[in-house]
């Protein structure tokens, strides 16, 4: 059986389409620039991974030879030294404790973040009340305000509210993370796209607004919930400045999260570049896993929320 192309070639009036030279040149430029930009973003990550596999001697050898390529080639000739970098940073410097702190902070903040910001988005999307437009304007305005401008006022508020006692500083990390203006905006846009007939049907059956939210709205909003969970986790896991300011550090069990601890470990006298890079690799893995798992939901969530923007 002949293919479609063969049948078309047998037609008397068939003229093969010629590739436009401008399009070919454009494609070459496009893919060339794309490849260069990809390498620019990938090279730091590749350097981080390869440096974590090198012993101090191997790293010094790569620098002394002035061979740029050696810095991006993993050294697996001495696996004992490679695993020693990860062992030193994870166990000897107790990075696992700080990682556990970050996971606990992230779990608590994510639960309250979804509930509080979801309820706020539900009210803004489905309720009509005075000054609703003003609140929507404030949310849009606050999205573009850098967090750095509010860190000092926030610290003052937390200091007055919690008195920054040893047992209260953990709450100083959790409370600000519960509210996210950007997540409220995402929830509002997504909830506005859910047909109100679904809510009316449950309301006729006698369901309250709270039950409608938890039994109907949230189950229908898995993409945006997954998006906010992923962003909240990444935000908490990468947070450095605020926990370093607010947390009480002189405790039997360290309270600081993983990024604060990693920065402190980096300044320890005698720490090697391979151990520092091993710590960076370990702290990057959870972000990579979370984002990979939630990627399709993030794309769908932003796509659906954008319908109402």
What is the band of 301 on the pLDDT scale with cuts at 50, 70, 90?
A: low
What confidence score (pLDDT) does residue 271 get? 83
Q: How far apart are the first and last CA of the chain?
A: 51
* Model pLDDT for residues 277-289, shown as the tens digit of each residue: 889 999 999 998 9
pTM over 0.85: no
Residue 6 pLDDT exceeds 60? no
* Model pLDDT for residues 70-89, shown as the tens digit of each residue: 777 777 777 777 788 888 88
What is the band of 157 on the pLDDT scale with cuts at 50, 70, 90?
A: confident
Q: Within a 13 Å sphere around the CA of 53, how many CA atoms are in the beta-carbon half? A: 15
* Model pLDDT for residues 89-126, shown as the tens digit of each residue: 888 888 898 999 999 999 999 999 999 999 999 988 88
What is the band of 304 on the pLDDT scale with cuts at 50, 70, 90?
A: low
* Model pLDDT for residues 199-216, shown as the tens digit of each residue: 888 888 888 888 888 888
What confidence score (pLDDT) does residue 264 get? 86
**Residues 6 or more apart from 284 whose CB is under 8 A from it?**
45, 48
Contacts 24+ apart (CB under 8 A), 52-57: 52/82, 52/85, 52/86, 52/274, 52/277, 52/278, 52/280, 52/281, 53/82, 53/85, 53/274, 54/81, 54/82, 54/273, 54/274, 55/81, 55/274, 56/272, 56/273, 56/274
Residue 20 pLDDT exceeds 50? yes
Q: Give 226 or 268, the one with higher predicted confidence.
A: 226
* Domain 93-308 listed as CATH 1.10.3720.10: yes
What confidence score (pLDDT) does residue 16 get? 54
Q: Which of 270, 239, 269, 222 is nearest to 101 (CA)?
A: 239
d(CA 234, CA 257) in angstroms, rounded, equals 13
What confidence score (pLDDT) does residue 246 get? 84
Cα–Cα distances in Å, from 191 out to 187, 218, 271, 306, 307?
6, 9, 50, 11, 11
What confidence score (pLDDT) does residue 166 get? 61
Question: By the 8 A CB rule, do 72 and 50 touch?
Answer: yes
Task: Sketch the domain layout of the chain as residue ranges.
Answer: 14-78, 93-308
**Residues 6 or more apart from 227 whose CB is under 8 A from it?**
186, 294, 297, 298, 301, 302
What confidence score (pLDDT) does residue 88 get? 87
Token duo for residue 214: 């938890």
What confidence score (pLDDT) does residue 309 get? 41
Q: Which of 205, 190, 198, 220 is nearest to 304 (CA)?
A: 190
d(CA 9, CA 19) in angstroms, rounded, equals 17
Residue 233 pLDDT exceeds 90? yes
Token duo for residue 64: 């002394």
Q: At 99, which helix (H) or strand (E)?
A: helix 95-126
Task: Give buried/exposed letters for 22-36 (b at 16+ CB in 10 A, else e).
Answer: eeeeeeeeeeeeeee
Residue with tokens 């309820």: 119
What confidence score (pLDDT) does residue 307 get? 46
d(CA 187, CA 123) in angstroms, rounded, equals 10
| CA dihedral of residues 135, 140, 146, 147 (deg, nearest 10) | 50
Mean pLDDT in residue range 3-11: 55
């Amino acid at each position: 059986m002949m293919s479609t192309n063969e049948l078309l070639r047998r037609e008397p009036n068939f003229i093969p389409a010629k590739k436009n030279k401008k399009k070919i040149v454009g494609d070459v430029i496009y893919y060339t620039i794309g490849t260069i930009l990809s390498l620019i973003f990938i090279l730091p990550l590749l350097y981080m991974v390869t440096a974590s596999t090198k012993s101090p001697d191997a790293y010094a050898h790569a620098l002394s030879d002035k061979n740029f390529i050696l810095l991006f080639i993993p050294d697996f000739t001495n696996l004992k030294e490679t695993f020693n970098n990860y062992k030193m940073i994870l166990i000897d410097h107790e990075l696992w404790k700080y990682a556990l702190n970050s996971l606990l902070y992230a779990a608590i903040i994510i639960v309250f973040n979804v509930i509080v910001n979801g309820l706020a988005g539900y009210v803004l999307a489905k309720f009509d009340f005075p000054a609703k437009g003003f609140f929507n304007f404030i949310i849009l305005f606050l999205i573009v305000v850098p967090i750095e401008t509010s860190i000092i006022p926030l610290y003052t508020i937390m200091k007055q509210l919690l008195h920054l006692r040893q047992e209260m500083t953990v709450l100083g990390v959790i409370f600000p993370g519960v509210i996210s203006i950007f997540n409220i905006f995402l929830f509002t846009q997504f909830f506005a796209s859910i047909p109100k007939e679904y809510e009316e049907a449950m309301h006729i059956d006698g369901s309250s607004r709270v039950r409608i939210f938890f039994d109907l709205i949230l189950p229908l909003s898995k993409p945006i919930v997954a998006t906010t969970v992923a962003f909240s986790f990444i935000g908490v896991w990468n947070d450095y400045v605020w926990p370093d300011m607010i947390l009480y550090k002189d405790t039997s069990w360290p309270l600081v999260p993983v990024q604060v601890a990693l920065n402190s470990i980096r300044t320890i006298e005698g720490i090697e570049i391979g151990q520092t890079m091993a710590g960076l690799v370990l702290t990057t893995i959870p972000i990579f896993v979370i984002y990979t798992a939630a990627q399709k939901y993030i794309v769908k969530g932003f796509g659906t929320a954008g319908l109402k923007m």
